[in-house]
Every structure is written in structure tokens, then in C-alpha cells.
């Protein structure tokens, strides 16, 4: 196996979009609908380890119908963004944390770990090559999607695949939820479960999402925007909101559910915990039930609730509904701390605020 750092073979696209076509996309990018001109691809085999590292034109994959990922969902991903700062620099936010989580997920999925420097290098190379796709509009970003799939063409299920493909694609992104920082109305999922102890809740695998769409659809059918996941045993303890972590605010105290293995350890969640301490807030990681959530809103003790993740940053939660009725969080409007933390985090990412934790990784 090769142990030397991988070097990427660079093959530039001969059909890259023109500046006009690109500007047309960047004027209204949406989220995850348009992709840049290039992608990263690295192969792994049991015999040769990681090899065949390439930057190449963005395009379809050709895979045998028996390929393992299609049948057993041996697949996972990461998500992070490149930001264009006011001085023209292009940066990412905590890519080393994504690299570390990538490998935590890889171990859970019985897939090979990727050296952290190769992960970070792959992002740098793709963003440098497709730098003109990093939006200049405030609040817009280039969303980066590293992922790994099992590529062995065989239907046997007694062992994991002996071949994998690591890929990175990039997509210019407007705001994730249309309509800015509008509070969301959430639906408590009392019938469906996202993750159970010993399962894959902490791993960023596609299978977690495949099982979640039906609950998200139920939320929408009940007039809500997003599903809130509860614990697998009693459906009492709050875990996450859709693909985002969740925070509760009691005056100047912040409460968030602990990382017990069923929650995805969000990098935004971790950053907010650290920023909150910097801002002099008290932070507690402890379980919270839906009964406590309702009672604390009724008594006025809970002043705000919000969800957080890379894609939408911080989103206020305005109202909660479930089978047994619903309640409003405070006055249903975005809370003061919610907006303050959002401004602080976005300010670090766009370089308008100091970066005391060294979270910014400069690419260009
Ligand atoms: C990715 C993800 C998050 C948020 O993680 P960030 O690192 O903050 O983007 C939260 N929950 C789930 C289920 C996720 O997949």
C-alpha cells in the first residue's frame, strides 16, 4: 500500500461553462441544483489502498448495476462551505473537523479512512480550480459535498465491499431555506424513529436520510416545515430537527441534547457551544423532553429555540406541533440570542468578525 501523500492528477474540462452561463446560475443558485465544472475522484481497493487521485471534469459515473452502494447503502457524506470574504479571500470553516468526522463515519460504516490531509487537499484543489463559482453575493456560498461509495460489483452481504470511491462535488448555494431567517414550524415525530442506540445516528450516512423522508412528508402534511426527532424508546426526549441540531434558550442559559450516539455531532453545534461561552452564556448539554419544552414555553422560562447546521446556519423555531396539539416558542419570532449567535458565526465565516478559535482555513 502507498503511504506517501497522494498527489492529484489534474484534467481540466474542455467544456467548462462560459462566464455568462456561470453568472446566470450564480444570479439564482437555489440549493444543490447546479454543480461546478470539476470534481474530485480517488479510488480505494483492498490491494492498493487509496490511489488514482484525480481532479477531472464533472460528469456521470458509470457503475455496474450490481454495485454494492445501490443495494446495501454503504455510503456516507460530509457537507461544508467555501465563503468569499470581503477582501476577496476564499476560505472554508473548520475543514479539519469535517475530515475527522468523515473518518468517524467511515469506521462505523466499515469503510476505509481517508488521511485528513488528503481530505483537506481535495477540497482546496476543487475550490481553487472552480474559484469563479464561489459566489460574491452576500450570504451565498459554494457548498462542498465530499462522499464515499462502495463500488464492488457483488451482491454478497457477508462482508463490506473491497472497493470504494471517494468523490467531491461543489454546488453554488443561495440560502438553504427560502425567505431568510424565518422561524420554522416543527412537527414532533411520535411514530417514526431516526436513530437508536448502537445504530448509525452519529454517522453522516445516506441511509439515515432514506428512512427520514416519510417523517418529513408527515410533517409537511400536518402543515409544518420540518420534523423533530425524538428518542427511540419513549419518543419523549428531543434529539434533532431534520438534518440539524437543536438548541433551547432559557434567558442567558443555552441547553442542547447531549451526544449520546443517536445524534449527529454537528460542527455548527460545537461552534455555537464555544461561541456561547465566549459571549458569557451558560451552556448545558442535557436531555430535554417534549413535556419540558411545552411547559417551559407556557411558563415563559424558555425564551428561544433554534436549529443549526452548515447548510442553514441557524434557524429559529417559532412553533411546535404534534399529535396532542402544539405551542408557540415565546412570541414565535426570531429570538435575540438566536440572531446574535447567527451574526457572530456568519461574521467569522465572512471575515467581518475576529476568529479567536482559528476556525477559518484560507484556500485562496
Ligand atoms: C450534517 C448534519 C447536522 C449538522 O452538522 P453540521 O456539521 O453542523 O453541518 C445535524 N444533523 C444531521 C442529521 C446531519 O446530517
**Domains, in order of start, for the chain:** 9-173 (3.30.470.10), 184-350 (3.20.10.10)
User: Which residue lies with its CA nearest to atom 2 of ligand 1?
Assistant: 243
Site to substitute for ligand 1 among 94, 108, 266, most atoms within 8 A of C-beta: 266
Alpha-carbon separation of residue 38 from 85, 132, 168, 215, 299 (angstroms): 22, 12, 9, 35, 54
The alpha carbon of 268 and the centre of ligand 1 are apart by a number of angstroms equal to: 8
Closest CA to 83 of 360, 274, 341: 360
| 100-118 b/e (C-beta count within 10 Å ≥ 16 → b) | ebbbebbebbebbbbeeeb
The pLDDT tens digits for 192-220 are 999 999 999 999 999 999 999 999 999 99
The alpha carbon of 283 and the centre of ligand 1 are apart by a number of angstroms equal to: 20
Q: Find all residues with CB under 8 Å of 364, minimum gap 6, and list them.
A: 89, 90, 127, 128, 131
Ligand 1 site, CB within 6 A: 79, 204, 240, 243-245, 264, 266-269, 309-310
Closest CA to 156 of 76, 73, 66, 65: 66
Sign of CA dihedral 350, 354, 357, 360: positive
Structure confidence at residue 179 (pLDDT): 60
Structure confidence at residue 5 (pLDDT): 78
Point out the ligand 1 atom lying closest to the alpha carbon of residue 309. 8
Structure confidence at residue 151 (pLDDT): 97
Point out the ligand 1 atom lying closest to the alpha carbon of residue 194. 13
Give CA–CA dist 55/133, Å, rounded.
16
**H or E element in which residue 322 lies:** strand 313-322
Q: How far is CA 244 from the centre of its chain?
A: 8
| pTM of the predicted structure, to 2 decimals | 0.97
Helices H / strands E in the chain, number of each: 9, 18
Sign of CA dihedral 159, 163, 168, 169: negative
Point out the ligand 1 atom lying closest to the alpha carbon of residue 267. 7
Please list the ranges in the chain whose pLDDT falls under 50. Answer: none
The pLDDT tens digits for 252-311 are 999 999 999 999 999 999 999 999 999 999 999 999 999 999 999 999 999 999 999 999
The alpha carbon of 260 and the centre of ligand 1 are apart by a number of angstroms equal to: 15
Amino acid at each position: 500500500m502507498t503511504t506517501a501523500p497522494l498527489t492529484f492528477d489534474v484534467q481540466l474540462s474542455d467544456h467548462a461553462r462560459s462566464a455568462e452561463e456561470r453568472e446566470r446560475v450564480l444570479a439564482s443558485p437555489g440549493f444543490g441544483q447546479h454543480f461546478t465544472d470539476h470534481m474530485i475522484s480517488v479510488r480505494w481497493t483492498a490491494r492498493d489502498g487509496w490511489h488514482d487521485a484525480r481532479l477531472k471534469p464533472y460528469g456521470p459515473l458509470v457503475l455496474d448495476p450490481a454495485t454494492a452502494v445501490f443495494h446495501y447503502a454503504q455510503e456516507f457524506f460530509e457537507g461544508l462551505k467555501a465563503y468569499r470574504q470581503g477582501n476577496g479571500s476564499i476560505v472554508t470553516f473548520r475543514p479539519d473537523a469535517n475530515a475527522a468526522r468523515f473518518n468517524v463515519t467511515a469506521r462505523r460504516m466499515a469503510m476505509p479512512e481517508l488521511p485528513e490531509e488528503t481530505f483537506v487537499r481535495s477540497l482546496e484543489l476543487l475550490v481553487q480550480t472552480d474559484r469563479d463559482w464561489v459566489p460574491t453575493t452576500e450570504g451565498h456560498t459554494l457548498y462542498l459535498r465530499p462522499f464515499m461509495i462502495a463500488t464492488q460489483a457483488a451482491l454478497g452481504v457477508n462482508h463490506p465491499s473491497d472497493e470504494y470511491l471517494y468523490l467531491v462535488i461543489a454546488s453554488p448555494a443561495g440560502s438553504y431555506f427560502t425567505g431568510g431567517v424565518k422561524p420554522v414550524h416543527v412537527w414532533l415525530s411520535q411514530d417514526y424513529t431516526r436513530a437508536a442506540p448502537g445504530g448509525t445516528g452519529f454517522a453522516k450516512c445516506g441511509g439515515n436520510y432514506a428512512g427520514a423522508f416519510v417523517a418529513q412528508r408527515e410533517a409537511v402534511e400536518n402543515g409544518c416545515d420540518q420534523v423533530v426527532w425524538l428518542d427511540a424508546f419513549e419518543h419523549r426526549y428531543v434529539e434533532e430537527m431534520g438534518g440539524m441540531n437543536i438548541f433551547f434558550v432559557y434567558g442567558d442559559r443555552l441547553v442542547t441534547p447531549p451526544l449520546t450516539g443517536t445524534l449527529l455531532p454537528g460542527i455548527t453545534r460545537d461552534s455555537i457551544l464555544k461561541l456561547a461561552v465566549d459571549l458569557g452564556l451558560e451552556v448545558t448539554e442535557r436531555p430535554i423532553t417534549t413535556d419540558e419544552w411545552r411547559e417551559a414555553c407556557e411558563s415563559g422560562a424558555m425564551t428561544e429555540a433554534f436549529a443549526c447546521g452548515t447548510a442553514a446556519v441557524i434557524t429559529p423555531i417559532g412553533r411546535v406541533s404534534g399529535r396532542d396539539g402544539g405551542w408557540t416558542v415565546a412570541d414565535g419570532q426570531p429570538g435575540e440570542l438566536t440572531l446574535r449567535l447567527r451574526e457572530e458565526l456568519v461574521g467569522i465565516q465572512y471575515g467581518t468578525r475576529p476568529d479567536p478559535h482559528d476556525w477559518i482555513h484560507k484556500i485562496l
